[in-house]
Chains A and B, each alone.
Chain A
Amino acid sequence: MGRSEAAARPEAAVSDAGPAAGLYLPSPATIQEVRLETGAADVRTFKVTLDGQEIGKDFIYRPGQCAMVSVFGVGEVMLSLSSSPTWTTHLEFSVKNAGKVTSTMHGLAPGARLGVRGPLGNWFPYESLQGKDLLFVGGGIGLAPLRSLINYVIDNRDRYGKVEIIYGARSPQDLCFKSEIFETWPKAPDTEVFVTVDRGDADWKGKEGFVPAYLEELAPSPVGKVAVICGPPIMIKFVLQGLEKLGYSDEQVITTLEMRMKCGVGKCGRCNIGHKYVCVDGPVFNLAQLRALKGEFV
């Protein structure tokens, strides 16, 4: 993967850059590579370049940000950028085959054209997290947005403390980013990866059980640490309870949310949680912020 030291610290403001050619007009993009993530073939990672734009220069994003991705003639969906901003050769979107647009995407091959509007939304507080230990807890495709920050931290390893990653999926087939969870990340300095599956298969020699139970068993100390979590609602619910039991304060727990979105810029109204819009005020919130909001989430 092409990584540039110069781009390790994106400096320019993002959301105030504004739309160059119209708020709803996507930038042309091209799929360079499609990688199958899961055995069930329901998650694919798309390596995408922006036609005539340099990532890190013309398109500057932060870990945790999203973009609206268009399949022209079909529609547009909000996807989190699963790549790290430290990679300047391409963007990555890791996409579950779920609806009309994503199922069409799954049928696309390298060379296919897309549209990208973004980056949109806020980001993980990667600056204020410097010097802290980090606990990542992910479930299934929920690892996608966390992966952006994990790789960012690994590419800026000396700025962050110890990294622990707890990741689970329904089955070994459903684990995403296998080369990273089993090879790249465990080899990174001061980084531990704990993988579990709900139910193993004949070849599975690893841990079996749910993520919240594994969290309880590992019992990572909250001292000097921030937990960054993302996964299915049921996992989030029990992970939050687990973290509270372990003594994590609401400020020490960060998550990233998903809602149905259309405009991505705070106009169309549908992604509100209380008076906040997930598209512009989120998707990243800490638990204290979420508890202060009225609304339905996770």
Chain B
Amino acid sequence: MAEKLVTSEGLFTMVEKLLGRAQVTAPREENGIAVFGPVNSAGQVELDGPLPVIPEKSVVFPQSETLLRMDLGGEVPKVEAVEPEGEQVILGVRPCGLQAFARLDRVFLEGAFVDPQYRRRRDHTLIIALTCPTVKRSCFCRAFGYGPSDGSGADLQLTRLPGGSFHLETLTERGGEFVAEMEKEGIAGLTDAGAEAGSAARAEKARVERLAERSAAAVSTEGVVEGLDGMYDDPYWAQLAERCISCGICTYLCPTCHCFDICEKARGPEAERYRCWDTCLFSNYTLMAGGANPRPTVRERLRNRLYHKLNFFNHRYGEFLCVGCGRCVEHCPTNIDIRKVMAKAAARSRAQGVSVNG
């Protein structure tokens, strides 16, 4: 695992080089908030800001993408599948974003049906992670067994050092090739990391891990799945639903929510079938053509979303579909807090344990 040291000017030059050959997505400011979004100049990249409100998800799973293109003018419809094109780089991915990609991989790549769009995007995306420079009060990644310095799943990992330079670790072969290319380009400010930079990076990682430990201190996953197993008909869901206004912001800001709608748009003989993000909190999500709706009220819909995150996904894939990024906690307009749902489930599990054991 090669370790490099790169100055912020060096990194700026690297991003400029990247812009010439790939679509680059990075944290940047948009309308006064930090988001992950496409950048067209290195100056837009804001690596020191807080956790971006809009997550990295759209790089591999865009909010809207064309699946089929159709020409319906002739006697026989001409229909073709649309493949995503080009190379992508995502810079500054947070560890929670990496964890989220791993969850999305399970949905889109596992089993008999591999999603071709997702596969293409995933294969053509270079992932450069960033050790979180700050930790928010809403962060609870540590409850899920990883922390703000965990670069698992990235090709490269940047850690901002107190002096302003970045420690750059190569984590995969693809990451190594990228660094080799940059070295060949003769990027000023890109050098081998000495022992000092290495230990500074370790110290920085330890610092943010301690912060994250503190912010997640009251959150635990223990007993959550088991507790929810016995809580499906609990009055709690109706109480929680009274507060939910079904705005869907939790879904749209969630790095792991993967549910989508497939729609058609036709203009003259040309038509397109596309998919776009959807949320199980909307009433028409499960509304059938005949008028029946198996999830008729907010209670069933909110319960479904929380169970998908904290129970159903576990029963299907063996892990949570929540990575503790805290976005839904921070942005829910009615303060529905998934950490409290976890605590409630854990308490139920303990109560069940007591009654079972005696």
Contact = CB atoms under 8 A, between A and B. Distances in A.
A272 B115 CA distance: 19
A126 interface: no
A115 to B, nearest CB: 7
Nearest to B265: A73
Interface in A21-51: 21-26, 28
A72 B271 contact: yes
Contacts of A22: 81, 116
Interface in A73-111: 73-77, 96, 98-100, 102
A25 B68 CA distance: 7
A241 to B, nearest CB: 19
A260 B286 contact: yes
A75 B76 CA distance: 17
27 contacts: A15-B113, A18-B114, A24-B273, A25-B68, A72-B72, A75-B263, A75-B273, A76-B273, A77-B289, A96-B290, A115-B79, A233-B292, A258-B288, A259-B294, A260-B287, A260-B289, A262-B260, A262-B261, A263-B275, A265-B113, A269-B259, A269-B280, A270-B259, A270-B285, A275-B311, A275-B315, A296-B295
B104 to A, nearest CB: 10
Given A16-B112, A260-B288, A267 B294 contact: no
Contact of B313 (A15, A258, A263, A275): A275
Q: Is the interface of B mostly helix, strand, loop or mixed?
A: mixed
Interface string B284-323: 0111111010110000100010011001111110000000
Contact of A275 (B264, B288, B294, B312): B312
B287 A98 contact: no
Contact of B79 (A72, A77, A265): A72
B341 to A, nearest CB: 15
Contacts of B304: 272
B73 to A, nearest CB: 11
Interface string B60-89: 000000011010100011011100000000
A153 to B, nearest CB: 28
A242 interface: no
A274 B271 contact: no
A169 to B, nearest CB: 15
Interface residues of B, number: 50
Contact of A269 (B81, B112, B260, B289): B260
A275 B81 CA distance: 30
Which residue among A100, A115, A233, A268 has the maximum number of chain B CB atoms within 10 Å of its CB? Answer: A268
Contacts of A25: 68, 79-81
A268 B315 contact: no
Contacts of A268: 259-262, 275, 278
A260 B111 CA distance: 22
B81 A73 contact: no
Interface in B246-294: 258-264, 266, 271, 273, 275, 278, 280, 285-290, 292, 294
A106 to B, nearest CB: 12
Contacts of B12: none
Interface of A: 15-16, 18-19, 21-26, 28, 72-77, 96, 98-100, 102, 113, 115, 233, 258-260, 262-263, 265-270, 272, 274-276, 280, 294, 296-297
B144 interface: no
Contacts, number: 130
A172 B315 CA distance: 45
B307 A23 contact: no
B146 interface: no
A274 B81 contact: no
Nearest to A75: B264
A23 B259 contact: no
A297 B262 contact: no
Contacts of A233: 292
Contacts of A294: 232, 307, 311-312
Interface string B74-109: 001101110000000000000000000000000110
A18 B113 contact: yes
Contact of B112 (A15, A75, A99, A259): A15
Given A72-B72, A269-B280, A24 B67 contact: yes
Nearest to B317: A275
Given A21-B81, A260-B287, A266-B113, A73 B312 contact: no
Given A73-B266, A75-B264, A19 B113 contact: yes
Contacts of B266: 73-74
